[in-house]
Structure 1
Amino acid sequence: MGADREGGAARLPVRAVAYAACGVVLLVGCASMPDSGDLRDVESTPRQDTQVRVFAMPPSEDAQAGEIVQGFLEALTSDDPHYDTARKYLTPPAARTWRPEQSTTVLANGPSTEADRQSGGRDDAADVTYTLTGARVATVDGQQAYAPAAGLYSKSLHLTRDAKSGQWRIDALPQGVVMGKSDFQRNYTSVNKYYFASNTSIGASGQPVAVADPVFVRKRVDPMTQMVRSLLSGPTNWLGPVVRSSFPTGTALRKGVTSLTPDDQNKLTVPLNGKASQVGATKCTEMATQLLYTLQNLTPTVDAVELQGANGETMCDLTERRAESVAWHGSGNRPEYLYFLDNKHQLVRIAGTSTSTSAVSVPGALGESGKQLQSVAVSHDERTAAGVSVDGRSLYVASMASGRPLGGAFVTSHGATDADRLTTPTWDARGDLWVADRDPRDSRLILLEHGEGPPVVVRTTGLPGRIKDVRVAADGARMALVVEKDGKQSLLIGRIERDDKSGEGPAVVELRSAAPELEQVTAMSWAGDSRLVVVGREQGGVQQMRYVQVDGSTPEAPAPDALTGVKKIAASEDEQVPLVAYSEDGIVRLPTGAQWQKVVKDGSAPVYPG
């Protein structure tokens, strides 16, 4: 439960006082302690700088029931690590049984409060019930996983007046907390923790593939220690079936460790309990890699980690440079080239980090044979290309080595029009190729393992419509799908389960919305380990480009600069690589800190490897 800082809720006046020198803001539900000047009621507390810590005041003597409710809601949005101040608004039994960490409900605005008519206005009432209401936006569960939500929120707080002291306190309340969207954005931040794709490795050395698992943590309540504990506790329920952790089950911080801080060399030492004491060197290095990737997503200042055993002995340590050789990490792999189709519908490329606009033909059959294409995809190692013929009917795969002939089509669609035929193909890091056939009579998602062999039809459990576009994450554990139903298009994220336990082959399951506000999705691309860039529009709106997280939340990064008439978008998991689009101005790119720049006027279908 909580109170929004930026309006919308019916509320009692709240007073706030800031101690700027100490970086502290006090949220006061029914009392304030000004350091100078006259008292002044305000309706809301403005959003504070992220470095300013916010603390609540306990209930004042003889506070009325409404003031207790308001003070409690304010206390929930403070930076009190264990909600100790919020518990002071509860009766002792309620304080012992309340579990604020169980969930967070996010409302469009702070919860509105209304006392029941029977007892709310009586001075001699011994108890009163307040109803909290609001429009739900999202929930964060006990694993800190975010999920969009909708509908009315309505919960009750019951207050009682102590017979001896006459003080009001809350004696019955729902588990978890609730707050408005702006308070949630001020209090919480999204961070990726990392695991490894199950039964997946790449390269001659068999590197495991890192998979991002986004969670929300409180920004100013020791987020580093929160993230380490969250990583050790295991993946979220949604991702869990397709990833593994190198930490043995039951691994936790050593007893007595309450906070973790990097040293002056930017190395974080993590003391573990005895559950991890028997791991070998390889497993320990993987554990350290998971930690380092997770912590660097939180703060780039950590560039080394050390794991200690139960007796304080060093188990292993790891630097940023060494981690790159331990596990394959999508955002750590910068593409060498940008690929697209020239005005003859043939595959060409330019250096990915260059400002040059001079494109050259790609070596290999798809670049040298003169084959006209509609769309293309290049493998992550940039050794193999896949292309869909200009009429959308046929999928070809070819080596990017000169002199190799172009073989026959691997997949053929019999759709009546281009829009009913093959989508743009897409590769994951282990070399599997995916494409969808949009033929209404035979709509299917198709997998070519290692980019060759017989096509495998992939089950799409719970698919609410027809696939219009598909992009697999580099890790091969998640897939983004644009699905059309009744003229509307939605962006969904599914989990890829490859284990053939049922005998029915691979499947994409537990689809969830990544952009619930959009009703039309024109183009999309992965733009980070857990982020996508999407072109679309809301109901009654205009086309826009935005970033979205795989869990449906909105990242803190600003949206890309506006661009008209976007038809295709290309991004890389490496967020430092320029965004590229195919628009009415041709192919354009957006370097970091710059405006959109023209690459070529006559070109289409831009892609980075993947």
Structure 2
Amino acid sequence: MDAERGPRRAEVGRSRTATALLALGASAVLVSGCASMPTRGEIRSVEASQGVDSQVRVFGVPPADKASPADIVEGFLEAMTSDDPQLETARKYLTAEAAKDWKPGSAVTVLSAGLDRLPVQGEKDPDGPRWKVTGKKLATVDERSAYQPETGGGRYEEYLQLVQVDKQWRIATPPSSLVLSESDFQRIYKPVNKYYFAGNSLVADPVYVRQRTDPESRMDPTTQTVQSLLAGPSKWLGPVVATSFPTGTELREGTKSLSYDGQNTLRVPLNLNGSNVAQPQCQKMATQLLYTVRDLTGSRLDRVELLRPDGKSLLCSVTAASAAAFVSPTPSPEHQYYVDKDFRLVRMFLSVNADEQQDKAEPAPGPLATAAGFKVGSAAVTYDEKRAAVVSFEGRDLYVVTLTTAGPMPQPVLSSKNGKLTAPSWDAHGDLWVADLDPQAQGLWRIPGGTGAPQKVDVAGLDGRITGLKASADGVRLALLVEKEGGRKNLFTGRIERPEGQGDASRVSVRELRPAAPQMAEVTAMSWAPRGRLLVVGRESGGVDQARYMLADGSMIAASLPGATGLSAIAAAEDESRPVVAYSGEDGIVWLPPGAQWRTVAAGGQAPVYPG
């Protein structure tokens, strides 16, 4: 490996304000894939706005004696990007009072690039110079570690006031939060899903934790994640989910690192607030912990034990098998559905063995199989695969038909007078969702149970018309393709709020739309994917169409699908062993089984869907 390889950041020309990399031994740069460590080369200056490999550890350099105001500002901003969770080096650039009061860990401001910094000209401050720091705001991470994309294209702007302390320049007014470029944020933090209950469904609540253990507090990512879970759901998801942990539940005082033994058992000692619970509630608490830590580690966790405040007495425990009893899983689909060249709804059997997938489609059973002349435009199938919602080829009428018994076609449950209906979607509650593109009556509709009277749903903050939608398997989120003036489509997620008790069911609404793929200039197709992610077809500014997994909070691109160009529809199942299915104008229906390559399975097919 070339000795010059390392963090790809531009030199800023000041070694005393540079960000230092760990050298060999106590300060080694750890780069994956190296056969040996470099034995020569210089320590380079590092600019915070450039990307760094996530496995490189970066630490700040303390201020030099008699450093100029410019060097103090530069060094402080670079020290904020260090891997030191306590930011001790950054605090050395502050006055004693500011260092004591500064609490940047309560929030993070994420910028699309680095900070611009300029001295404020034309004013005489009796205490010393002021510097203005600005940048383009991409998002914020709040005190509950939840990511919120910036929707207004806002600017970040704060002022750093410098004063002299014992003839040394120091900053008296540090930023109110930790400020990082997107590349530094992704290097220092990692995403993880916490899990909360919505009925008997577990809902993924994405948050960010620091990737590495703090050597002083020994606060590792697992402990950070558990603390975040105990603190409760994010503000965005909070109104529609519940936690089993009693108010005030925390780790036992003094717990800095959780015990994870060789038998894949995690032991979690709780304080008194979390210990006064009955066994069923305790086991639900342990279930939330098990699913959350398994998502974080990506490894097998077989058992979670909750301990009383003495740290020894067992409160309750769950295994991976017993925890499943508290969760209603989404059924693994037996079939994949699409519309064939004759505009019939057909299905293909999904074998447990991906190499044995059935390539011959059969007509969907029930009234659709015998309805002569009826043409299907789009469809959605319930999770139990007993009913289908189909929109006619013309897009005017929505029907709900059985897939278990024969009979005549029923009357439509909803019709568009002067427009078309979008492809429908079922949620985990058995409700049916569809949008009407009628210019005079456009909007979102919900058919309770697929048989009730259609109800128009209020979508707070909607700016544009809904051209596509997909309900999440957990039933609490709705992904919406929204077309704005000019024809460009963007992806948003909204929170589905349902009335409590037996109140007016028509009060179901969708609240707090937030961008789900802000990195993409346009989105053309989407589907929910396992673990609360989205699978999105779209393009970045100046780029080509591609398919990518996105985190549902809009924070980052998780992974892209190889060779996924020219797709205009896509679907993924909650079961990760099932292939991704898509529609290509050139190839028809194509599949991407796990660990394999795309293959064509139906040259004349279109509108592919999985149950949901």
Task: Give the TM bin, normalised by the shorter chain.
Answer: 0.7 to 0.9
Cα deviation digits, residues 36-76 of structure 1 (max 9, x gap): 86855445488665455433343343333333323322222
% identical aligned pairs: 46
Q: Is the 1:190–1:555 contact (alpha carbons within 8 Å) kept by the matching residues of 2?
A: no
Partner of 2:229 in structure 1? 231
Aligned equivalents of 2:8 and 2:205: distance in 1?
30
SS in 1 for 2:530: coil
Q: How far did residue 245 of structure 1 move?
A: 0.6
Q: How does 1:12-51 map to 2 (within 5 A)?
A: 12-13=14-15, 14=18, 16-21=20-25, 24-25=28-29, 41-44=44-47, 50-51=54-55
Partner of 1:87 in structure 2? 91
Determine if the alignment matches structure 1 residue 59 to structure 2 residue 81: no
Cα deviation digits, residues 479-502 of structure 1 (max 9, x gap): 011112212222111111111678
Partner of 1:276 in structure 2? 274
Partner of 1:594 in structure 2? 596
Structure 2 letter corresponding to 1:589: W
Determine if the alignment matches structure 1 residue 470 to structure 2 residue 464: no
Partner of 1:454 in structure 2? 453
Partner of 1:386 in structure 2? 389
Partner of 1:423 in structure 2? 422
Aligned equivalents of 1:38 and 1:364: distance in 2?
73
Q: How far did residue 193 of structure 1 move?
A: 0.8
SS in 1 for 2:282: helix
Partner of 2:108 in structure 1? 104
Structure 1 letter corresponding to 2:582: A
Aligned equivalents of 2:303 and 2:58: distance in 1?
31
Q: How far did residue 598 of structure 1 move?
A: 0.6
Q: 1:8 to 1:532 in 2, by over 3 A?
A: farther
Partner of 1:243 in structure 2? 241
Determine if the alignment matches structure 1 residue 212 to structure 2 residue 204: yes
Q: Is the 2:19–2:58 contact (alpha carbons within 8 Å) kept by the matching residues of 1?
A: no
Partner of 1:435 in structure 2? 434
Aligned equivalents of 1:74 and 1:364: distance in 2?
65
Q: Which runs of 5+ in 1 are unaligned?
A: 27-34, 201-207
SS in 2 for 1:286: helix
Q: Is the 1:10–1:112 contact (alpha carbons within 8 Å) kept by the matching residues of 2?
A: no
Determine if the alignment matches structure 1 residue 71 to structure 2 residue 75: yes
Q: Is the 2:422–2:467 contact (alpha carbons within 8 Å) kept by the matching residues of 1?
A: yes
Q: How far did residue 350 of structure 1 move?
A: 1.5
SS in 2 for 1:283: helix
Q: How far did residue 325 of structure 1 move?
A: 2.4
Q: Is the 1:102–1:175 contact (alpha carbons within 8 Å) kept by the matching residues of 2?
A: no
Partner of 2:366 in structure 1? 364
Structure 2 letter corresponding to 1:463: L
Q: 1:115 to 1:126 in 2, by over 3 A?
A: same
Aligned equivalents of 2:473 and 2:44: distance in 1?
53
Q: 1:294 to 1:151 in 2, by over 3 A?
A: same
SS in 2 for 1:127: coil
Moved more, 94-103 or 248-257: 94-103
SS in 1 for 2:360: coil
Q: 1:526 to 1:503 in 2, by over 3 A?
A: closer
Determine if the alignment matches structure 1 residue 347 to structure 2 residue 350: no
Q: 1:410 to 1:50 in 2, by over 3 A?
A: same
Partner of 2:564 in structure 1? 563
Partner of 1:606 in structure 2? 608
Q: How far did residue 390 of structure 1 move?
A: 1.7
Q: How far did residue 303 of structure 1 move?
A: 3.1
Structure 1 letter corresponding to 2:277: V
Partner of 2:584 in structure 1? 583
Q: How does 1:472-551 map to 2 (within 5 A)?
A: 472-486=471-485, 487-499=487-499, 505-539=507-541, 541-551=543-553
Q: 1:389 to 1:309 in 2, by over 3 A?
A: same
Q: Is the 1:8–1:109 contact (alpha carbons within 8 Å) kept by the matching residues of 2?
A: no
Q: 1:39 to 1:555 in 2, by over 3 A?
A: closer
Structure 2 letter corresponding to 1:543: D
Cα deviation digits, residues 326-373 of structure 1 (max 9, x gap): 11345xx53222111222222221223443311122232234545421
Aligned equivalents of 2:495 and 2:10: distance in 1?
37
Q: 1:20 to 1:372 in 2, by over 3 A?
A: farther
Structure 1 letter corresponding to 2:162: L
Work out the number of aligned pairs and report it.
Answer: 577
Q: 1:166 to 1:223 in 2, by over 3 A?
A: same
Partner of 2:3 in structure 1? none
Q: 1:97 to 1:11 in 2, by over 3 A?
A: farther
Q: Is the 1:526–1:532 contact (alpha carbons within 8 Å) kept by the matching residues of 2?
A: yes
Q: How far did residue 578 of structure 1 move?
A: 1.8
Moved more, 597-606 or 65-74: 65-74
Q: Is the 2:19–2:60 contact (alpha carbons within 8 Å) kept by the matching residues of 1?
A: no
Aligned equivalents of 2:46 and 2:53: distance in 1?
19
Q: Is the 2:20–2:61 contact (alpha carbons within 8 Å) kept by the matching residues of 1?
A: no
SS in 1 for 2:98: helix
Aligned equivalents of 2:207 and 2:596: distance in 1?
31
SS in 1 for 2:283: helix
Determine if the alignment matches structure 1 residue 285 to structure 2 residue 283: yes
Determine if the alignment matches structure 1 residue 153 to structure 2 residue 151: no
Q: How far did residue 527 of structure 1 move?
A: 1.6
Moved more, 462-471 or 10-19: 10-19
Aligned equivalents of 2:349 and 2:58: distance in 1?
48
Q: How does 1:301-340 map to 2 (within 5 A)?
A: 301=299, 302-312=301-311, 313-330=313-330, 333-340=331-338
Q: How far did residue 82 of structure 1 move?
A: 2.1
Structure 2 letter corresponding to 1:315: L
Return the match for 2:298 from 296, 300, 314.
Answer: 300
Aligned equivalents of 2:547 and 2:383: distance in 1?
25
TM-score scaled by structure 2?
0.88
Cα RMSD after superposing both structures: 2.7
Q: Is the 2:268–2:305 contact (alpha carbons within 8 Å) kept by the matching residues of 1?
A: yes
Aligned equivalents of 2:94 and 2:448: distance in 1?
58
Structure 1 letter corresponding to 2:246: P
Q: Is the 1:133–1:154 contact (alpha carbons within 8 Å) kept by the matching residues of 2?
A: yes
